[in-house]
Copies of this chain bind each other. A is one copy, B any other.
Amino acid sequence: MTDIIIVGAGPAGLSAAVNAVNRGKTVRIFSNKENYLSKAERVDNHLGFYNISGKELMDKFKEHAEAMNIKTEEGKVVNILPMGESFMVNINGEISEAKKIILAMGVSKVKELPGEGRLLGSGVSYCATCDGMLYRNKNAIVWDQSNDALEEANYLNSIGVNITFVSKKARSEHLNGNIKYVSGTISEILGDYSVEAVIINGENLQADAVFLLRDAVAPTALIDGLETESGFIRVNKNMETNIEGVYAAGDIIGKPLQLSKAVSEGLIAAQHAAIQIDIQ
């Protein structure tokens, strides 16, 4: 079992990883997108680095982690299940067990659709690899909200799911031949006990499942019962969320959305988690 699984490899996640390893703990750290810091043209306000580009700074952060044998793994975490003494983490269908969790995915831009939370696990899925087989010979909609969505639509099609691909981008030519393509966006998911239809461009389209393939899963959809406050995850001064063993750090817990703060909170979360592992 891994000691700590860290979701997100920006400044908060990498600081957590470095500090967990410093305290003799094993970590796995997952990321499936480039950190937005990499896009900053110039950073002047993180002490010790003057007139540095966001990309150079992220490179320095990654070098530090690599020097300590910490390798960020590509992967979207789609579900975290508390099991009492440990957590089962679903990374795109692969299950990994950890004693503690640190959430460091940055600001969540995910806006939940009406019906999404209610029908999650009853036709609404965030992971083609995980749930695809449940919908063989059934009708599923894939909503294109990440680069991988196209590939995952083709995968679902290849295992026998009837796919309609909904996208705002004109990339129907990359889809397998028998995938239907609809240009547009989904505004609502309908169904009493399980998904029955979605509303696309104001019109109903029947379906047994909807795959919402965004870059990230909203933190509250990742773990059941996670408490938020004004849209950010609520933590105490040790960075503990309301769920024992689950920490959060960085922009995900609120303002100011600053690099120095993310680095500090990653450290605090990892050090506290390491101590808890030692005394348990």
Contacts and interface: CB of A to CB of B under 8 A. Distances in A.
Contacts of A264: 258, 260-261, 263-265
In this complex, the member of A264, A265, A266 whose beta carbon has the largest number of chain B beta carbons within 10 angstroms is A264
A60 B46 CA distance: 11
Interface string A43-65: 01111111100000100110110
Contacts of A252: none
A256 interface: yes
Interface string A4-19: 0000000100110011
Nearest to A265: B264
Interface string A74-114: 00000000000000000000000000000000000000000
Contacts of A271: 256, 258
Contact of A22 (B44, B49, B63): B44
A226 interface: no
A60 B45 contact: no
A258 B14 CA distance: 16
How many protomers of this protein does the assembly include?
2
A173 to B, nearest CB: 43
A104 to B, nearest CB: 12
A15 B68 contact: no
A18 B265 CA distance: 20
Contact of A47 (B45, B51, B256, B266): B266
A213 interface: no
A67 B271 CA distance: 33
Interface of A: 11, 14-15, 18-19, 22, 44-51, 57, 60-61, 63-64, 67-68, 256, 258, 260-261, 263-268, 271
30 contacts: A14-B47, A18-B44, A18-B45, A18-B47, A22-B44, A44-B68, A46-B48, A46-B263, A47-B263, A47-B266, A47-B267, A48-B48, A48-B49, A48-B57, A48-B60, A48-B61, A48-B64, A48-B263, A49-B64, A50-B64, A50-B68, A256-B268, A258-B264, A258-B271, A260-B260, A260-B264, A260-B266, A260-B267, A261-B264, A264-B265
